[in-house]
Amino acid sequence: MDNKGNTRGIGSEIMIGGIRFKSNVLMAPLAGYTCFPFRLMVRKLGAGSAYTEMVSSDALKYNDKATSKLLYTDDREKIKCVQLLGSVPTVFERAAKSDLLEKFDIIDINMGCPVPNVIKAGEGCSLLDDIPRASRIIEACKRSGKVVSVKCRIGMNRQRIVIEEFARMCEASGADMITVHGRTRDMMYDGEPLYEYIRIAKQSVRIPVFANGGIFSKADAARMMEKTGADGVMLGRYGFENPLIFSELTGKEITDTKYSLLMEQLEIAKECFDELYVLSYIKKLASYFMKKMPGTKGFKLDLYKCGNIPELKDVLGGIFRGKQDAGTGTF
């Protein structure tokens, strides 16, 4: 493949930093969502990998319960990827070399989060305006000996689009992969991605470049690959709303419905976490799964009244299994 722009097919295998991914369709890190059970599910459905929720590099030194949940993994997760957020290179290096991250194969550095409190802390997207610091962070993580990827945006606004310089810096600093969200910071999560700037990033480096933003269907993914020449795609919010999209994009044959996936997620979550966490996670996942279903408001009221796991199972069966049996779709 010509790394200057010729695309590979969606669902193709790809090597990143010496690690072979069975699919070039990845799941993005999503704070509050991409927990261990969810990552297992999208891998089963065809995703090449999925990242942990965003973890503060500074918070790792406290090793509290919240951070432990974010980092939970076991041998069922074949490629383990963690995403770190921060602004201090020495803190990143200490985190990357820590025992807490020893089990992870890949460290992804968040240089794309656009929310105000992250920007004010000099983290996430703000690093687009401090390229020397961003470079030192990548170099610090690489000293751990792990594969390092970077997730970024194209710039802070349309008057300062820096993705060409930024992508080259990432490669020169040792990054093994870049994921480019094709929006500026001030666009947040709205508007059509600016495909041409992802293509510029792709043409500027030799390492794999993944494209992110605005992918809600197979047609969207195909358009993204065609317009950008990217090596693969990374799904965000829609991957949580409809994880079956991974099997659609990769051509992986499955028999799962949304109901069967929820039941499987519940059982995995029970193995790993306390009941309060399980209830919160499954309610959140089910709420996304039932989007656009008739009667959603009433279903959600029933769902959030559940105070224990048996109640939750009964309600989920009434909501999803009834729809499935009625032939109203793959619920």
Helix pair angle (275-289, 309-316), 10° resolution: 10
The H-or-E segment that residue 116 falls in is helix 116-120
Cβ(153)–Cβ(116) under 8 Å? no
**Spatial CA neighbour of 208 closest among 167, 252, 253:** 167
Cα distance between residue 87 and residue 101, in whole Å: 18
Cα distance between residue 325 and residue 41, in whole Å: 23
| Helices and strands of the chain, counted as H and E runs | 15, 12
What burial class does residue 121 get, using C-beta atoms within 10 Å of its C-beta: 0-12 exposed, 13-18 middle, 19+ buried? middle
Q: What is the largest CA-CA distance in the chain?
A: 58
What burial class does residue 15 get, using C-beta atoms within 10 Å of its C-beta: 0-12 exposed, 13-18 middle, 19+ buried? exposed
Cβ(218)–Cβ(248) under 8 Å? yes
Per-residue CA distances from 110 to 134, 153, 249, 261, 319 (Å): 10, 10, 25, 29, 37
Q: Please identify every residue annotated as catalytic.
A: 113
